[in-house]
Amino acid sequence: MESSLDGSVLGDPGVSLMGSELGLEAVMPAARKRYKWMPLCAVQEWIILDAIVTDAERTKVAAAGCLPMFMFAHKVVDDEQRRFEPGHWVRSSMGTAFNDGFLFETRNTVYVLLGPGYRKSATIKEIFSLF
């Protein structure tokens, strides 16, 4: 399955980041110790997208317990609940936390970011054009 990618969002890579450098066999148990009940999904070739929002929108997002950020990954490596097939892409719902440089939390999932990735700003329209 190919993703529909808007060149303006993914064309400029943004700021380089490094996710976990541990192998899948080491990083998943470590994440499981921290997140006892949350489903884990390991991804590669990822981008953290900081949504460009107004102050009023930021206030609403914060009131909902979220941060105006999303995660897009070109490659799912392992999804514990088998919602996403290995090798497919995934776009998260709005994030609730980003910890240790490689654990991107949403209300329903913790995405374990493997290897190099990027972080950049994008409009909500651009973020939702990724499907």
pLDDT tens sequence across 13-23: 789 999 999 99
Helix (H, G, I), strand (E, B) or coil at 29: helix
- Whole-number pLDDT of residue 8: 52
* Position 81 in a domain: yes
Q: Give the residue numbers spanning the domain of 44.
A: 7-128
With vertex at residue 33, the alpha carbon angle to CA 84 and CA 117, rounded to the nearest 5 degrees, is 50
* Position 30 in a domain: yes
Q: For residues 109 and 8, which has the higher predicted lDDT (pLDDT)? A: 109
pLDDT bracket for residue 130 (50, 70, 90): confident
Which tokens go with 124? Answer: 């909500």
pLDDT bracket for residue 129 (50, 70, 90): confident
Closest CA to 73 of 56, 86, 82: 86
Query: For 92-126, how does the pLDDT look when each residue is reduced to its tens digit (9 = 90+)?
Result: 999 999 999 999 999 999 999 999 999 999 998 88
State mean pLDDT over 53-64.
Answer: 94
* Position 66 in a domain: yes
- Whole-number pLDDT of residue 5: 40
Inter-residue contact 49 to 94 (CB < 8 Å): no
Residue 48 has pLDDT above 80, yes or no: yes
Residue linked to tokens 């909500």: 124
* Position 1 in a domain: no
* Position 86 in a domain: yes
* Position 58 in a domain: yes
- Whole-number pLDDT of residue 3: 38
* Position 117 in a domain: yes
* Position 63 in a domain: yes
Number of domains within the chain: 1
